[in-house]
Every structure is written in C-alpha cells, then in structure tokens.
Structure 1
Amino acid sequence: MSLVRKFATVASGTLMSRIFGFTREMFMAAALGTGPVADAFNAAFRFPNTFRRLFAEGAFNSAFVPLFAKEIENNGMDGARRFSEEVFGVLFTVLLFLTIVMELSMPFLVRTIIAPGFVDDPTKFTTTIRMAVIMFPYLACMSLAAMMGGMLNSLHRYFAAAIAPVFLNVILIVVLVYAWWQGYDALAVGYGLSWGVMAAGLVQLAIVWFAVRNAGMRIGFRRPRLTANVKRLLVLALPAAITGGITQINLLINTNIASGAAGAVSSLVYADRIYQLPLGVVGIAVATVLLPELSRALRAGNMQEASSLQNRSVEFTLFLTLPAAAALLVMSEPIVRLLFERGKFGADSTLEVSTLLAIYGIGLPAFVLNKAFIPGFFAREDTRTPMIFAAISMVVNVSIALSLFPFFGARGIVTAEIVSGWLYALLLFFTLVRRGHWGHDRPLLSRIPRLILSAAIMAVAIHYACIHFAPELSSAASLATRAVTVIAIVLGAMVIYFGLAFASGGADLGMIRRSIRRRASTKTDEHQTE
C-alpha cells in the first residue's frame, strides 16, 4: 500500500472526527456562546485533554511504536504481546494513582494551574472544579486507548484508532440536542457535556480494545514490573511526552493566561477548533503513518527509502497545508460567521474569533511541518533533542504571551503560539540537516516556491471574492445564502490553487504516487490489512 493511501486512511477517520467536531462546536456556540459556562467547560476539559496528549499520544505514538515494532521483528507476535502486557500493567497502575491524586487536588489545580483568573468569580471557579472532577477520568481511558492505537498502527491497522475520536463528538452532539429539546439552561448543558466526555472515553477505549483483539493481540493484565523493556520505554517516553505534546503544553499555559479576560478562553477554543481541521487531517495523518514506516526503513538500513519518506511527507503536507493557511488568513470572518454566529454567539464574538483564526493561519504550516519533522528523531530513538527544542519553544511562547496579553488579549496569546511554533520547526529541520538525517531533494526544493506562489494567487482571488460577495456573506444574509457563498468561494479557490500548482510544476500527482509507492518489506506487511 502506498504512503498516500495510508495517509488517506488515517486522514479519512480524522476528517470525519473534525466534521462532527465542527457540528459539536456549532451547537455549543449557540447554547453557551463565549459566556462563563463555556469558559468553565473549556478550561476544565483542556486539563485532561492536555495530559492525554502529553502522556498518551505524545509518549506512546513516539516511544512505544518503535519499540513495539522492534519486538514484532525480533520476537514475533508473542514477544510483542508480552511487551504490551508489561507496559499495560505499569500504565494502568500509574493512571489509577494519577487520577486519584488529581481528583483530590482539583481545587488547588484550578486555582493555580488551570484557570487562576476564575478565582475572583466564585460561581465560575466552583463550576470549573466540578466539571474537571467529572471529566478527568477521561485521561485514563484515552491513555490506554492511545497505547492500543499505537499497537494498531504498528500492525498497519490505522482506521480504528483514527475513527474512535468521532464518538466523542457524536456523544456530545447527542447531549446538546437532548438539552435543547428539554430546554436546559446553560449550567445544566455544561454538566451534561462533562458527563458526555466521560462516557466518550469509555466508548473509545472499547473500540480500540476490540480492534486489537481482532488483530490477534489479546492483552492480559500483568503485575506492574519495571522490566528492561519498560525501563527503555520510560527513558524514551518522558521526553517524547513533552515533545509530542508541545502544542498542548502551550495551550494549557495559554488557557491559564487567558483566564484573566472574560470570554478569552472560549474564543481561543473556537478558533483552535477550526484550524485543527487541516492540522488534524494532514498533520496527524502524516505523523501517525510516518513514524512506523520510517522506523522500519531505518531498521532495514535503507537510508534512501528513509530520505524519500521524509521528503515526500513534507511535500504532501505543504501541498495541502499552504492553501488552507492562505484561506484562513483572508476569509476567516465569513467562515466563523457561517459556523458559529447564532444564538448566544454574536457579531462581537465572530470578530474576535475570526481575528484569532487569521493569525493561526500564519502558523499552520509550521504546526503541520513539526508533525513531519519529529518522526525523524523518534524513529532513531532520539527523544532528547526534540524535548530540548520543545522547552526552548515553550519559554519563548510564555514570554511573548505574558508580554502581549495585557495589550492585545487573546490575540497576543495566539501570536506567541505562532512565533514559538515556527521557531520549533526551524530548530528541528536544521538539526536534521546538520546531522545528515535529511537527504537533499532537488524536486522538493523546486516545488516549494511554486506551491507558495499558487497559494498566494489563490489568497488574492479569495480576498476580492469576499469583497464582491460581501452582502451575501454578511449577518443580514440567510444561513443558506452564506453557506452557498462560502462553499462557492472555497470551490473556486480550490480550482485556482490546484490548477496553478499542477500547471506550474509545484505538484505532480503521478510522480508523487510513483515515488512513495513501496512494496511490503516484512512478513507482517504481507499478511496484515488495514
């Protein structure tokens, strides 16, 4: 199976999740707007979600996957199953202890880490604590699910782990629709959403657990022991957790800072939801597939294939991310108005969120490129270097955010994220080049300027289209009129970009397909199907 088809398999599940996520946010915006309950829920949910990215996805998709794949190659499926059981026993025990400690410490955590700005509003502060207590066990479910998702990715079963997150959004949409039908007030809606998050964690864990069983891996519980394999995993996982979760660390810090201004937390979350669509569909797909593929190529000593995998991944990410970034930069306001402006989400909220989204557009390529650069380190079992760069990036983010927030509010926070994201991408890339881990690729270097030019021309066309269709995009127009106009502009922009990209030689689908198609190189590849 070609690399593009593997990207598409993961991206399709992620895209479905993001579409349902948009639907969820549209309902939430109408029900809660950017009011105090929305701030409380988003701040409370950010906490377990950040830990999930740090200790689950960041650690296991970066440290566990290469070790699990190595066990399959060296000791077969039985050795990989034993290794998984050893890790499962330790992970389950740590998560149980962490959950108990965090639940008991939640008032202190909200006051000092999650949302110190809420302390002056007793109702908002208490609501955040209660919602965080309800939702924090979601971390344990999703951490175990992430481990099993890593196993599935190593076994080339990508779809189950990619589709599982859809159920979080489906469950929360059901909660919102039921709350609307029953006429619940905002506070009741917030608590209903909190219980929905907890239920979604159990459902997602069940999905990947059954998928692992169907893949022939029956995991039993073993008494937690620090075996040699588990120690090696922990050595790799700690820096990998920090590195893989750099965006989440920054988001948690930024939530802490933003809690000092009313509505800022929710505005950041709504803008984040939109820019996460291209980041999730492209970036996560590339990172999920590239790590096991690159690890396999390096273990086989095939440096040419490893170089091709890295360069084609960057080519793929830029090909799809540059037009998305350009579109967010020039038409963020019509997008936000179409998706969110109704109910308690008014014109002022649209203006604030759209401004944040436009700034995010500038940093989108960096965030996606990071997903393509990091596997170049992790596949070589080097998690320390990205961790150091992540720490530098965090210091820059916090420094700029604290400096700009008093003057620009949430816009200063997003600016800090963008600067730190680009700094992180440059540090990763130049280190790979300096170490000789990034092969020179003349076709890639010649295509990047052409893709940038194609995206720039497309952005100019979108800008003038938005001016021409301003009445149809305004709040005064009907929802159907706005939707048709936005879709028409997006489709026209796609025709312009892809036409220019292929005409200028910035993209060559046939060459991309031929260059990244590869034969299965192991017995596992021959017998496993997605």
Structure 2
Amino acid sequence: MSRMLRASAIMAAGTMVSRVTGFVRTMVLAYAIGTMALGDSYNAAYAIPYSILDLLLLGVLSSVVVPMIVRAQQHDPDGGRAYEQRLLTVATVTLIAVAVLAVIGAPLLIDLYTDWAPGSKKYEVAVLLARFILPQLAFFGVGAVAGAILNTRDRYGAPMWAPVVNNLVVICVFLSYVLLSDAGSNIDQVSDGDLALLGLGTTAGIVAQAAVLIVALKRVGFSFVPRFDVRNARLGEMAKAGIWTIGYVVVTQLGFMLTTNLSSAAGDIVEGHGITPYTLAFQLFQLPYGVIGVSVITAMLPRMSRAVTEGRFDDVRTEFGSSVRLICALMVPVSLLLMVLGPAITVPIYGHGANSVASAVYIGNVLQVYGLALVPFSLFQLLLRVFYSFGDTKTPVFVGAGTTAVNALLMWLFYVMLPARYVVMGLALAYAIAYGLGAIIAWVLASRRVRGLGGWAIGMALTRMYLAAMPTAVLALVVVWIVTGAFDGLGFVNSLIVLATGGGLGLLLYLGVAHRARIPEVNSIVGMVARRVGR
C-alpha cells in the first residue's frame, strides 16, 4: 500500500498541476470562443484526433504494449531495449502516415462526428480547424509510446508533467487570439488566419508535450535508434492480443460518435446546448479520475502484470483491492460534491468573456449528472486492467460492447424524449447508467478469472466511505441553499463562497469523519500529507 501510495502521489502531483493548468486552458477557451457555434466547431475538430488515437494506439498501450514491454524487459537478453526501439520506430512511421491521411480526409471525419450539413458555416470552420489540428496525431502518439516506456521503468513523473507544457502553450495561443482577433465568438467574422492560430497553436502544444517525453527518455539512458527489422517487433503477437482491444475501442468510439452527433443536433436547435457544454462538463468529470484513478492504475498495471506472469494470484487480488479502496476513498466524496456543487464549479471557470453565466450554469448542470458516473466509471476502468494483466483483451470487448449498446440505446431514448435544452444532460445520465451496469458485469467476470476479488471486504469499505461522506453532501446542500437564497442565484463571487464553504470545508469534514471511522486509506493519505507538511 505504501509503495503504491508513493508512486501514485508522484503521479497525482503532476496530474494535479496538469489538470489545474487544464482548468485555466478551458477557462481561456470559453473566454475566447464561448460555447456557441465557433466553440462547437473547435471542440468537434479537437475531439477527432483523440478518437483516432484511441482506435490506433492509446487503448492498446495499457492493455497490450505495457505488458509486452514488461515481458521483453524480463526475458530479452538486452533487457528489452531493441524491442522498445522497434516499437517506437513502427509507431512513428505509422502515425505520420495516419496524420497525413486524416488531414486529407478531414471533411469525411467531420461529417462522421457531427450532424452538420456540408457547406454550413459550422461544418466548414470545423473542417479547416481539423486540418490544422490533425497533424498532432504523429506527435501525440510518439509521446504516448515514450510515456509507456518510461512507466515500465517506474519513471512516472515526466508522463504526468508533460501535459502541463501542452496546456501552457495552448493557453498562450488562446490569449493571443483574444488580443489579435476581433471575431471573438462570432463564427461569421472569424478569418482563416484566426483559425490557423487556434488550430496550429493547439498542435504546437502537443509537439511541446512530446518533446518533454523524448528528453525524459534520454535522461533514463534510452537512446533511440530507428529499427526497421519489424520481424522481431512481435507485431503478430501484438496484433493477436491487440485486435480485441481495438475492437473494444471501435465499439466505444461508435458510442462517442453517436454522442457527438446527438449533441450537435441538440445544439442546432438550442444554441449553446450542444457539443461544447458536453465536452467541457466531461473534461471536469474526468478530472478526479485523471488525478486519482489514472495515477493508481498506471502504478498498478505493471506490478499486476508481473504478478500474473509469475502466477501470484493472491498478489493480483491484493493489488486490485488496494487500488479500489485507495481510489474510492477520494472518489466517493468528490462524486457527491459534483452532484451538489456542479454550477458553483463551472461559473468561476466558464462564466466569462464570450461565455455567459447562464451557459456556465448549464455546463454545471451537466456536470451534476456526470457526478453519478464517477465511482462506477472508475471501478469499470480498474476491472478492465485485471483482464489486461492476464493478456486477455477479448473479454473487455464484449463488456465494452454491452456497455456501449446500453449507453447508445439510452442516449437515443433521452434524445427523443427530452426537450433539446436537456438532451446533453440526458446523454450524461445515459453514460452513468451504462457504466454502472458495465461495472457489475465486469466485476462478475473478473472475479471468476481471479477466483474472487474480495467483494465483501471492498463492499463494506465502500459503504463506510459513503457513510463518512454523507455529512459532506448535506453541508454542501445547505451552503448552496443559503447562498443562492441570500444572493438570488450564482454569480462569480457567490460561487467562490459556495466552493470554499461547501467544497473546502466539506472535504475537511469528510477527512475528519473518515479518520474517526478508521478508514485505512484515508488515514494513509492524511498521514502522508501531514508528514510532507511537517518537512
């Protein structure tokens, strides 16, 4: 536990700074281009390279590449060095080719991911932005492989801190747009030069991020030599293992494609209630998982893969149980606070410049619904890593397909049943329900694989965490009721008061109650913080 806590703390610190600068980035984005038509076009174009990377690489990294690098390090005479060089060579060449094809096919990609008619202003602006943003595919992919190699060497700092550089570059780009452009959020006045600044500036951030990771690789003694002897790259083994992971990513991306199409259609009916509110709320929803969940999972997977390779199933169960309890010790109170304080969080972040307070409140309403999904989504991701540590990429495809099918059905039902202004909130609710069911199915299957996951002990621990978090939720509700009643709604200052009192004091209250309830994970976190402050 202490070893995982230390590794997770290093990553969480970098991720926290990354997410804080990410907050600033989204604040500047909303200030510069808002959540109306131009914001929708930018976010549609911005989402596409991440979707392509999911299809080609990022899903395979955690499920296939990391375990294969670990095995190469354990069994190859050179400690896996040549294998890593071949892997980086193949990824670089492949992703350059994909980036070129994506730029050429930008109109088709925008047509796939949105409901906008070709020739419309939103569509044309999105296509041009996509052509400026899609070249980042090559740099992002190479950086991701470099990060995976660093993780297998237990070097977690650079992969978690490199996005900070990306965020800082993009913040400067959007501030430059505010200073240099007269268009603001008006899509009819934006020029090709304005769009080039936004698109190429976004790509420049990814280039800087990849550069940081490559430098970090050199510092750990990795010298990149291009190797084209792909026969020794074990691509066949990777393809055999990765085909199911790619299938899983394809399924989830089909669900994401439906989400962007439905939200873009809703945004055409009620402007400001489309892709951009969905994207911004989803980014905030992912923040706790990105800071806490990803850090723990990144530290957990290599160790779990080694335990499986050596046949130590008891260690697999122990590693999984510790990870669940460590993540949920913080996820549980945060999820309740998101459900209560959503608008109070989003108004200070997004209610400025080109974006109105009313639009920021709507983003907060979507975030409140997403709060329901935080714990189930985190458990779902942890459970998938159990299968991946066994080299099983097939089972997650079927679990993911079922989850996505439920999500798609519910999204369509909510789109048909709800007024357009509530559609994006309905999409978030569908997501929460689907991942709740998906986590249950994944738990049953993973438990069979490991011959038990300690469900009773984990269930009791989660129950104690929720009971400890209930006073926090009640305090936050009372604060919201008092402040909104006294000041007639949420403005910037009112929201800060709500966050400081309901959020800040609420978390302190949770830590105090959990400490008195002797929840070990919370005591470990409090003790670690106290020791660091004492230094």
Asked whether the two chains share a fold, i.e. TM above 0.5, the reply is: yes
Worse overlay, 244-253 or 19-28: 244-253
Q: Which amino acid aligns with 2:89?
A: G
Q: Which amino acid aligns with 1:213?
A: K
User: Do structure 1's residue 255 and structure 2's residue 254 form an aligned pair?
Assistant: no
Q: What is residue 405 of structure 1 aligned with on the other side?
A: 415
Q: Deviations over 1:22-79 (max 9, x none)?
A: 1111111122221111000000010101222332321112211111011111125x35
User: Do structure 1's residue 219 and structure 2's residue 227 form an aligned pair?
Assistant: no
Q: What is residue 141 of structure 1 aligned with on the other side?
A: 139
| Deviation (angstroms), 1:261 | 2.1
Q: Which amino acid aligns with 1:47?
A: I
Q: What is residue 348 of structure 2 aligned with on the other side?
A: 338
Structure 2 counterparts to residues 237-252 of structure 1, below 5 A: 237-243=242-248, 250-252=255-257
Aligned counterparts of 1:338 and 1:473: Cα–Cα separation in 2: 16
Worse overlay, 492-501 or 296-305: 296-305
| Deviation (angstroms), 1:411 | 1.8
Aligned counterparts of 1:267 and 1:108: Cα–Cα separation in 2: 24
Worse overlay, 418-427 or 431-440: 431-440
Aligned counterparts of 1:229 and 1:12: Cα–Cα separation in 2: 35
SS in 2 for 1:164: helix
Aligned counterparts of 1:50 and 1:312: Cα–Cα separation in 2: 31
Aligned counterparts of 1:349 and 1:191: Cα–Cα separation in 2: 26
Q: What is residue 169 of structure 1 aligned with on the other side?
A: 167
Whether the aligned pair in 1 keeps the contact of 2:348 and 2:495 (CA below 8 Å) is: yes
SS in 2 for 1:446: helix
Aligned counterparts of 2:254 and 2:442: Cα–Cα separation in 1: 18
Q: What is residue 187 of structure 2 aligned with on the other side?
A: none
With normalisation by structure 1, the TM-score equals: 0.90
Q: Deviations over 1:91-129 (max 9, x none)?
A: 233223322222222212222x121x2216611111111
Q: Which amino acid aligns with 1:93?
A: V
| Deviation (angstroms), 1:326 | 0.2
RMSD: 2.3
Q: What is residue 125 of structure 1 aligned with on the other side?
A: 123
Whether the aligned pair in 2 keeps the contact of 1:473 and 1:485 (CA below 8 Å) is: no
Q: What is residue 509 of structure 2 aligned with on the other side?
A: 496
Aligned counterparts of 2:64 and 2:498: Cα–Cα separation in 1: 46
Aligned counterparts of 2:91 and 2:382: Cα–Cα separation in 1: 27
SS in 1 for 2:85: helix
| Deviation (angstroms), 1:512 | 8.5
Aligned counterparts of 1:19 and 1:473: Cα–Cα separation in 2: 28
Q: What is residue 460 of structure 2 aligned with on the other side?
A: 446
Aligned counterparts of 2:501 and 2:135: Cα–Cα separation in 1: 43
Q: What is residue 211 of structure 2 aligned with on the other side?
A: 206
Whether the aligned pair in 1 keeps the contact of 2:55 and 2:246 (CA below 8 Å) is: yes
Q: What is residue 457 of structure 1 aligned with on the other side?
A: 471
| Deviation (angstroms), 1:480 | 4.6
Whether the aligned pair in 2 keeps the contact of 1:58 and 1:242 (CA below 8 Å) is: no
Q: Structure 1's 357 and 509: CA in aligned 2 closer, same or farther, altered over 3 A?
A: closer
SS in 2 for 1:118: coil
| Deviation (angstroms), 1:143 | 1.1
Aligned counterparts of 2:109 and 2:487: Cα–Cα separation in 1: 43
SS in 2 for 1:389: helix
Q: Deviations over 1:443-498 (max 9, x none)?
A: 43322111111222311111011111226776675x45542442232121012211
Q: Deviations over 1:246-289 (max 9, x none)?
A: 76653343112211122310110111121111021112112211
Q: What is residue 179 of structure 2 aligned with on the other side?
A: 181
Aligned counterparts of 1:107 and 1:29: Cα–Cα separation in 2: 25
Whether the aligned pair in 1 keeps the contact of 2:514 and 2:522 (CA below 8 Å) is: no
Aligned counterparts of 1:226 and 1:406: Cα–Cα separation in 2: 52
Aligned counterparts of 2:5 and 2:159: Cα–Cα separation in 1: 18
User: Do structure 1's residue 160 and structure 2's residue 165 form an aligned pair?
Assistant: no
Q: What is residue 450 of structure 2 aligned with on the other side?
A: 436
Q: Which amino acid aligns with 2:469?
A: A
SS in 2 for 1:404: helix
Unaligned 5+ runs, structure 1:
515-530
Whether the aligned pair in 2 keeps the contact of 1:52 and 1:143 (CA below 8 Å) is: yes
Q: Which amino acid aligns with 2:113?
A: I
Whether the aligned pair in 2 keeps the contact of 1:447 and 1:507 (CA below 8 Å) is: no
Q: Which amino acid aligns with 2:32?
A: A
Aligned counterparts of 2:279 and 2:486: Cα–Cα separation in 1: 27
Q: Which amino acid aligns with 1:344?
A: A
Q: What is residue 72 of structure 2 aligned with on the other side?
A: 71
User: Do structure 1's residue 288 and structure 2's residue 298 form an aligned pair?
Assistant: yes
Aligned counterparts of 2:425 and 2:116: Cα–Cα separation in 1: 20
Aligned counterparts of 2:80 and 2:175: Cα–Cα separation in 1: 44
Structure 2 counterparts to residues 11-160 of structure 1, below 5 A: 11-76=12-77, 78-111=78-111, 113-115=112-114, 117-119=115-117, 122-160=120-158
| Deviation (angstroms), 1:418 | 1.4
SS in 1 for 2:80: helix
Q: Name the count of aligned residue pairs.
A: 510
Q: Structure 1's 420 and 382: CA in aligned 2 closer, same or farther, altered over 3 A?
A: same
Q: Structure 1's 10 and 336: CA in aligned 2 closer, same or farther, altered over 3 A?
A: same
| Deviation (angstroms), 1:304 | 2.3
| Deviation (angstroms), 1:226 | 4.4
Whether the aligned pair in 1 keeps the contact of 2:128 and 2:195 (CA below 8 Å) is: no
Q: What is residue 201 of structure 2 aligned with on the other side?
A: 196
Bigger relative contact order (CA 8 A; separation at least 6): 1
SS in 2 for 1:435: helix
Whether the aligned pair in 2 keeps the contact of 1:319 and 1:507 (CA below 8 Å) is: no
Q: What is residue 310 of structure 1 aligned with on the other side?
A: 320
Q: Which amino acid aligns with 1:152?
A: L
Aligned counterparts of 1:140 and 1:164: Cα–Cα separation in 2: 16
Worse overlay, 242-251 or 125-134: 242-251
Q: Deviations over 1:318-375 (max 9, x none)?
A: 1110111100111111111121112222243133212211110000111111222111
Aligned counterparts of 1:473 and 1:218: Cα–Cα separation in 2: 61
Aligned counterparts of 1:146 and 1:451: Cα–Cα separation in 2: 34
Q: What is residue 519 of structure 2 aligned with on the other side?
A: 506
Q: What is residue 532 of structure 2 aligned with on the other side?
A: none
Worse overlay, 6-15 or 93-102: 93-102
Aligned counterparts of 1:506 and 1:286: Cα–Cα separation in 2: 18
Whether the aligned pair in 1 keeps the contact of 2:515 and 2:523 (CA below 8 Å) is: no
User: Do structure 1's residue 320 and structure 2's residue 330 form an aligned pair?
Assistant: yes
Worse overlay, 479-488 or 86-95: 479-488
| Deviation (angstroms), 1:184 | 3.7
Q: What is residue 7 of structure 1 aligned with on the other side?
A: 8
With normalisation by structure 2, the TM-score equals: 0.89
Worse overlay, 297-306 or 382-391: 297-306
Q: Deviations over 1:4-32 (max 9, x none)?
A: 11111111111111111111111111222
| Deviation (angstroms), 1:80 | 1.2
Worse overlay, 325-334 or 419-428: 419-428
> % of aligned pairs identical?
23
